[in-house]
Homo-oligomer: A and B are copies of this chain.
Amino acid sequence: MASSSYSNSPCAACKFLRRKCMPDCNFAQYFPPEEPQKFANVHKIFGASNVSKLLNEVQPHQREDAVNSLAYEAEARIKDPVYGCVGAISVLQRQVIRLQKELDATNADLIRYIPNNNTQDGRRIVGEGGEGSSSLNQGFYYPFSLE
């Protein structure tokens, strides 16, 4: 778990909000003073109050991951105000679709050349619509055109 390396300095959140950082500060362990931009970003995008509410909604052992994912989203939104990290989802979805098509085409080629559809290391070749293709139906799909 992250903690401030300057125990006498206020955390980045309290410094940003110009308030005294008390020993029981909810933000201190997630927003150390040496990372001021991390809090500035989540404050700009989500607001300190929403971040505090969200931290109270999750288990203590999940709070560091929650803060880090919020910081990631906030930074992405500041870099790209229109799409934020949803832009990354769209890029990755296109990458998955392209790789799956390439894999299907390559497997189809292999099937033509290898007699019993088993490679030398024993892998079973799967053509279009096989196991490999099913990965397109898993996970996430961002439904808006981001072109």
Contact = CB atoms under 8 A, between A and B. Distances in A.
A81 B73 CA distance: 13
A120 B50 CA distance: 58
Given A65-B82, A99-B96, A138-B95, A112 B120 contact: yes
Interface of A: 44-47, 49-50, 54, 57-58, 62, 65-66, 68-70, 72-73, 77, 81-89, 91-93, 95-96, 98-100, 102-103, 105-107, 109-110, 112-114, 119-120, 123, 125, 132, 135, 138-140, 142, 144, 146
A22 B92 CA distance: 40
B69 A84 contact: yes
A66 B82 contact: yes
